């Protein structure tokens, strides 16, 4: 940010942290530390060459290098063939890092100085187990895509000592939780040092003590992920545990984590990357960052906190992922008061008063972090079109008297980093479209390349992928059964589960009520008939975790585990424990049909189904989240066509529809083969999905949408508000103050509506009282037609409600600051549909996001 003071230079990373290599092998260190290996598999053969067994067990180059014997490294350092291979990979990496990237080529480097992407979890791979589920995996895919496109972004998160739990299923079928320790020296991260070679610390003042936060950096190709860690020896034992568990501990510990992420995270940004312009809050967990940013700007620019908030808001983007208001983090005032100084710094009392006005709708209510994030952001977005509509309803209380469809929440539908999720078999199909670069540019020839692949090749690709999944499932199940203490005969049965030639269904989710993971178990007899059909059999792989406190979710897992023990179908239904990124990759690459059964509209987006597309998988899902946008009859299957009066009846109807589609549509299409043994209709659906849906729901498209809809507009607004000593911000604050002071003095007279051939003309007296005419906008407004109600269609964007600006005319005779406003509207709608309203107006303000005042005709 242009107003930031120059910090002390920061060293790139600690030299030789935790690893000593022979000089000829020095490049291995950079290759192992660059998490690009989680999606670019060019180096796999090299790592396997070092130690095949270690590589197969870990698929983690950093651990491999830590564990490989020194004698083996010495031998490789003298191996010309290995050194040539290493040099080639190092040169390829240097070329990747040096390339300007799509962003620079398209927009130019000056268009955006940088984005800081804040998230409480990041899922990049099993080498960094710092995630719980979809939110973290999305954040990881975001960083990978930013690297591929050359977008100047960094990630800001926490380095957890234990992270999220690892799942075990005991002999009774009940979920147990384990929390293995994350040893930093065994993770591909490096401590950040200052110019003097001293470890960098970010400091926060907590009640009666100072918290020291260590800073780590993980490299994700061209993108850096910075991680804060409270496990410093000089902190108190309790404070060392702040970054212990992800989503664990008490409400107070959760608040401390969010203070560390928000306040500590923004101080980290200003220390290491002061050029950053856009702060992207991925969920409301980091909302304290916007207060810290405004506080810092206030001190640096010599302006009040209110003016500084007008500056910082311009550079803040908020993405909400929550489909229900109850899912937002809330903190009671008493607890927040205890940590007010830590969360808000000097002048905490004044900042707290402003923050409270943003973060709650009534006096005494808890502080809502999502409310704070939205009211402190320039642009707010849901994660699918339907979720955008749901979010406008959720955030409606922040915008009293505003129409729901004008609540300022748009949407950018999530996408997935396709190279991270596509199988080697699918990669071979796509390769002619430009190798890895095809996902960086979304080249138009992609559709033509898929069209040119013959049906036999696609069907062979699916067969090989399914076979690889079956092999992986058998190996995992064998390990799990052994771990549960089963006898050798039971463990041996794992070698015969699943059939590589059978229609394979996949279901993997967080096990919680609204996701309805047991919908397929609604009718055991019907499911058994599907699985055991002698001519069109099916098989099913299930995985998922329940939150440690979710007893209902654990019971649903136990029900699936019990069903898999059915003596007739144990070989066709498998529940795999410890669902993580590695297991997810195996599933989405191998299944034929991916099933998703949330209770609409509670699935904000749901990205797992996107991951099967590039692998030739097909979705069977509720018309919720992303599938409400992506579904077409020739691309997949949908349930949720009927609406029932209560949840139980809806569940029953959806289960019946799910069974019917599997019986009458999915199985026949998969098993209807021509004389060559190829299911032509099934392959046609695969082909269309790969060509149409894969580009549309890739993270490349998602990040481009963020750039065009959010980052570039936010960056431009921030620069304008910083110019000339923040003159625009001062003007906005003065405008805001004038409107708040005089808003009650506004009055709208009776409008005169005159019918015309193609609509209506309107003349209305407006009495502005203490407010200048230039500070407001007068409109003739009508609610949208009922058929265009929010949630019915993706096109319901904020601001789409019909309104016509009325022009200020002559003063009203005998009135003080009263004017006649006039205009006309072309419409066939009746006069009763229209009313007059007054809105705040300023050329630099986003209304109602930044000032939600509104006055309606009485």
Average pLDDT of the chain, as a whole number: 91
- Residue 830 maps to a domain: yes
Q: What is the CATH number of the domain that holds 684?
A: 3.40.50.2000
Neighbours of 118 (CB within 10 A): 26
Neighbours of 842 (CB within 10 A): 19
Q: What is the DSSP string of 77-88?
A: HT-HHHHHHHHH
The tens digit of pLDDT for each residue in 520-560 reads: 999 999 999 999 999 999 999 999 999 999 999 999 999 99
State whether residue 317 is helix, strand or coil: strand
- Residue 254 maps to a domain: no
750 by Cβ neighbours in 10 Å (0-12 / 13-18 / 19+) ranks as: exposed
The tens digit of pLDDT for each residue in 407-463 reads: 999 999 999 999 999 999 988 887 776 666 677 765 556 777 788 889 999 999 999
Whether the ω angle into residue 848 lies within 30 degrees of 0, i.e. cis, is yes
Task: Name the residue among 183, 201, 185 with its Cα closest to residue 193.
Answer: 201
689 and 802 co-located in one domain: no
Q: What is the mean pLDDT of residues 842-851?
A: 97
> Cβ distance 345 to 267 under 8 Å?
no
Rg of the chain in Å (alpha carbons) = 29
Task: Name the residue among 377, 307, 426, 415 with its Cα closest to residue 732.
Answer: 307
731 and 663 co-located in one domain: no
788 and 659 co-located in one domain: no
pLDDT category, 713, cuts 50, 70, 90? very high
Q: What is the mean pLDDT of residues 353-358?
A: 82
506 and 601 co-located in one domain: yes
Helix, strand, coil % over all residues of the chain, rounded to 5: 50, 20, 35
691 and 752 co-located in one domain: no
pLDDT at 13: 46
Segment among 307-311, 374-378, 574-578, 640-644 with least mean pLDDT:
640-644
* Cα–Cα dist 828/826, whole Å: 7
State whether residue 112 is helix, strand or coil: coil
**Torsion angles phi and psi, residue 17, rounded to 5:** -65, 115
The tens digit of pLDDT for each residue in 112-158 reads: 999 999 999 999 999 999 999 999 999 999 999 999 999 999 999 99
547 and 477 co-located in one domain: yes
661 and 808 co-located in one domain: no
The tens digit of pLDDT for each residue in 466-512 reads: 999 999 999 999 988 888 788 888 888 889 999 999 999 999 999 99
* Cα–Cα dist 517/586, whole Å: 19
User: Strands 166-169 and 618-622: what pairing?
Assistant: unpaired
Tokens of 591: 């299944």
Location of structure tokens 């990373």:
13
591 and 665 co-located in one domain: yes
285 pLDDT higher than 60:
yes
Domain that holds residue 736: 727-856
Segment among 6-15, 57-66, 651-660, 721-730 with least mean pLDDT:
6-15
674 and 557 co-located in one domain: yes
pLDDT category, 301, cuts 50, 70, 90? very high
> 697, 715, 744: which is the final residue of a domain?
697
Whether the ω angle into residue 701 lies within 30 degrees of 0, i.e. cis, is no
* Cα–Cα dist 848/854, whole Å: 9
* Cα–Cα dist 568/215, whole Å: 54
- pTM confidence score: 0.94
The CA-atom distances, in angstroms, between 597 and each of 333, 503, 514, 801 are: 38, 19, 9, 32
Q: What is the CATH number of the domain that holds 794?
A: 2.60.40
625 and 734 co-located in one domain: no
> Cβ distance 342 to 206 under 8 Å?
yes
613 and 486 co-located in one domain: yes
848 pLDDT higher than 60:
yes
74 or 5: which leads in pLDDT:
74
- Residue 596 maps to a domain: yes
Q: Please count the structural domains in the chain.
A: 2
* Cα–Cα dist 219/187, whole Å: 12
């Amino acid at each position: 940010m242009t107003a930031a003071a120059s910090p002390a230079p920061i060293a790139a990373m600690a030299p030789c942290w935790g690893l000593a290599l022979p000089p000829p092998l020095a490049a291995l260190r950079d290759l192992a530390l660059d998490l690009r290996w989680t999606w670019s598999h060019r180096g796999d053969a090299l790592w396997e060459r070092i130690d095949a067994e270690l590589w197969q067990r870990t698929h983690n180059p950093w651990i491999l290098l830590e564990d490989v014997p020194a004698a083996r490294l010495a031998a490789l350092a003298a191996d010309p063939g290995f050194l040539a291979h290493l040099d080639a990979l190092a040169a390829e990496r240097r070329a990747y890092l040096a390339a300007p990237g799509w962003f620079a080529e398209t927009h130019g480097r000056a268009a955006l100085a940088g984005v800081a992407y804040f998230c409480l979890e990041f899922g990049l791979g099993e080498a960094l187990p710092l995630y719980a589920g979809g939110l973290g995996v999305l954040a990881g895919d975001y960083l990978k895509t930013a690297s591929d496109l050359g977008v100047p972004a960094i990630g800001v998160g926490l380095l957890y000592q234990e992270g999220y739990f690892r799942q075990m299923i005991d002999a009774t079928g009940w979920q147990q939780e384990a929390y293995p320790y994350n040893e930093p020296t065994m993770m591909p991260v490096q401590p950040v040092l200052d110019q003097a070679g001293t470890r960098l610390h970010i400091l926060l003042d907590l009640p009666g003590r100072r918290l020291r936060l260590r800073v780590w950096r993980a490299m994700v190709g061209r993108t850096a992920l910075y991680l804060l860690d409270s496990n410093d020896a000089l902190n108190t034992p309790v404070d060392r545990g702040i970054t212990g568990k992800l989503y664990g501990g008490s409400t107070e510990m959760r608040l401390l984590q969010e203070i560390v992420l928000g306040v500590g995270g923004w101080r980290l940004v200003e220390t290491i990357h002061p050029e950053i312009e856009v702060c992207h809050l991925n969920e409301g967990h980091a909302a304290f960052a916007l207060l810290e940013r405004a506080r810092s700007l206030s001190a640096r620019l010599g302006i009040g906190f209110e003016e500084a908030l007008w500056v910082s808001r311009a550079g803040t983007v908020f993405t909400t992922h929550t489909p229900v208001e109850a899912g937002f983090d809330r903190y009671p005032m008493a607890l927040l008061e205890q940590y007010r100084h830590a969360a808000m710094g000097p002048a905490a009392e004044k900042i707290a008063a402003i923050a409270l006005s943003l973060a709650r709708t009534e006096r005494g209510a808890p502080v809502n972090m999502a409310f704070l994030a939205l009211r402190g952001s320039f642009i707010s977005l849901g994660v699918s079109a339907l979720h955008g509509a749901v979010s406008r309803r959720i955030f409606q209380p922040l915008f009293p008297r505003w129409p729901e469809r004008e609540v300022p929440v748009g949407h950018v539908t999530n996408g997935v980093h396709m190279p991270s999720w596509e199988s080697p078999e699918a990669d071979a199909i796509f390769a002619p479209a430009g190798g890895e670069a095809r996902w960086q540019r979304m080249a138009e020839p992609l559709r033509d390349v898929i069209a040119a692949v013959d049906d036999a090749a696609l069907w062979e690709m699916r067969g090989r992928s399914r076979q690889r999944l079956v092999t992986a499932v058998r190996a995992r199940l064998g390990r799990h059964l052994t771990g549960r203490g089963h006898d050798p005969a039971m463990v041996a049965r794992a070698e015969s589960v699943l059939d590589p030639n059978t229609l394979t269904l996949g279901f993997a989710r967080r096990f919680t009520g609204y996701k309805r993971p047991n919908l397929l178990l609604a009718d055991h007899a019907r499911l058994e008939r599907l699985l055991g059909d002698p001519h069109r059999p099916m098989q099913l792989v299930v995985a998922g975790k329940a939150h440690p406190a979710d007893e209902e979710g654990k019971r649903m897992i136990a029900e699936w585990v019990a069903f898999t023990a059915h003596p007739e179908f144990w070989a066709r239904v498998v529940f795999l424990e410890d669902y993580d990124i590695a297991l997810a990759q195996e599933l989405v690459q191998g299944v034929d049909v991916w099933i998703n059964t949330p209770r609409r509209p509670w699935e904000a987006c749901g990205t797992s189904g996107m991951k099967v597309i590039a692998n030739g998988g097909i979705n069977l899902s509720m018309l919720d989240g992303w599938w409400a946008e992506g579904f077409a009859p020739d691309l997949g299957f949908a349930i949720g066509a009927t609406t029932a009066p209560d949840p139980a009846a809806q569940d029953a109807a959806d289960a019946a529809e799910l069974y019917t589609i599997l019986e009458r549509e999915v199985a026949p299409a998969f098993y209807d083969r021509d004389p060559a043994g190829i299911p032509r209709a099934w392959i046609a659906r695969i082909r269309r999905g790969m060509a149409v849906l894969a580009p549309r729901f890739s993270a490349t498209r998602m990040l481009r949408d963020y750039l065009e809809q959010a980052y570039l507009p936010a960056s431009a607004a921030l620069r304008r508000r910083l110019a000339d000593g923040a003159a625009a911000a001062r003007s906005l604050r003065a405008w805001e103050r004038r409107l708040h002071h005089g808003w009650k003095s506004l009055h709208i007279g009776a409008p005169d509506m005159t019918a015309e051939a193609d609509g209506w003309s309107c003349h209305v007296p407006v009495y502005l009282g203490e407010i200048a005419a230039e500070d407001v906008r007068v409109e003739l407004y009508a609610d949208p037609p009922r058929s265009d109600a929010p949630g019915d269609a993706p096109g319901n964007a904020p601001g789409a409600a019909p309104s016509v600006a009325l022009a200020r005319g002559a003063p009203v005779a005998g009135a003080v600051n009263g004017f006649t406003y006039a205009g006309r509207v072309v419409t066939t709608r009746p006069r009763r549909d229209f009313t007059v309203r007054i809105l705040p107006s300023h050329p630099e303000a986003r209304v109602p996001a930044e000032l939600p005042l509104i006055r309606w005709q009485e």
